Amino acid sequence: MDRADALERLALARVGHFASITPEGMPHVVAVTFVVIGLNVVHMIDDKPKTTQRLQRLLNVETTPTASLLADNYDEDWASLWWVRVDGEVTVEKDTENWWEARARLKGKYRQYRNSPPSGPAIFLSIDRLNAWEGG
């Protein structure tokens, strides 16, 4: 799969797995909804029930501002398998022009956000490295 195809599959994927490193050096992975904006993969902290608004992933990227996101497709027909992984630097924004664009794009991609758009910080993962694989 070439880079353009990998980016297209990434942009169309419905869920990604965001991986960061805790301050203690342990891996931490969470499933996220996301959008691709330019050379960034962006997800936001939404209003679904959480035990705290001070989420582990936010603490992680404050300490170690690098992360990965993996999107994939599984099918019983293994010729249809694929995955795309992005590795890069992380920045966190709130109430900036980029934040508002990310919010609007997430509302466009996910119908659940149309009535209850995310209001928390946006996590921007730069696409510094992109790796991809497909079956068959």
Q: What is the pLDDT of residue 59?
A: 95
Fold topology of 3-134:
Pnp Oxidase; Chain A (2.30.110)
Let me know the angle formed at the C-alpha of 95 by 89 and 101, rounded to the nearest 5 degrees.
Answer: 70
Q: Which of 63, 61, 25, 23 is nearest to 42 (CA)?
A: 61
Work out the number of other CB atoms within 10 angstroms of the CB of residue 13: 20
Work out the number of other CB atoms within 10 angstroms of the CB of residue 107: 17
> What is the average pLDDT across 62-91?
96
pLDDT tens, residue by residue, 84-108: 999 999 999 999 999 999 999 999 9
Residue 49 pLDDT more than 60?
A: no
Residue 126 pLDDT more than 80?
A: yes
Q: What is the pLDDT of residue 46?
A: 83
